[in-house]
Structure 1
Amino acid sequence: MVDVSVTASVKVQGGPTMPLGASLAPDSYTFASSSLEAAGGADEVEVPLLPDGGTVALLALRATTSGGSGQGSAATVTVTPSHGTTSGDPIVVDGTLLVANPHVLAALVADGPRGLTVKNDGPDPVAVDVLVCLDTP
């Protein structure tokens, strides 16, 4: 079992601040880093999340320009979740995506995501990091 903490805060200037957080104890996690060329080149990658069985409990994605993973500026990518031959709707991600709720993740594609296709939409090369926490039945 793995201990995972998620902490964030949403602050509206002149308005409320809402602290958010979650503690997860998934069975395992996977981490993948990929480099994508500028749009029109080798600008797409398939990222497997888990085999049949199990549940994705957390999905974190960071896309940055090629200044190095986490070192460049936010990049725009299109993420398409899949489960076998079924694909969910594409999601445009500007820099980061964090979903720490298995019920929301299950709604992205029938029976929950088992993989992602990540496509670079921009004119610059992009580094993409994907962290996924997994629970088994």
Structure 2
Amino acid sequence: MSYKEKVVSSETRIFKAVFPNTVNHYDTLFGGTAMQLMDEVAFITATRFTKMRTVTVSSDKIDFKQPIPHGTIIELVGRVVHVGNTSLKVEVEVFVEQMYLDHREKAISGTFTFVAIDENKKPVVIEI
């Protein structure tokens, strides 16, 4: 499989409903909950791309562009955007849509860096 095909086939999409137990006192999704979901999607994307053990080593600039109110649906989309020797970067975008309207917009975006590791938790080369 080519690099481009691997990127396309590893793209990960997860949908979640925003319920009251995940919102703050402003009735919007907790930032920490959003970041946890983003890291999970990024991890799944990295694992699907590499077919190796990977661990998060950093998250880069996470932009919260729109509040995400309870009673909405979010879609998290993870894509590999860069592959190095032992690491890769995954961009995650979060889209919010109203349950009963035809409206959808990007609410959050961020990039997560992962390192491929062996059974001894030592970095290993990512085979493309």
Same fold, TM-score > 0.5, yes or no:
no
- Give the helix-richer structure, 1 or 2: 2
- Give the strand-richer structure, 1 or 2: 1
**TM-score with structure 1 setting the length:** 0.29
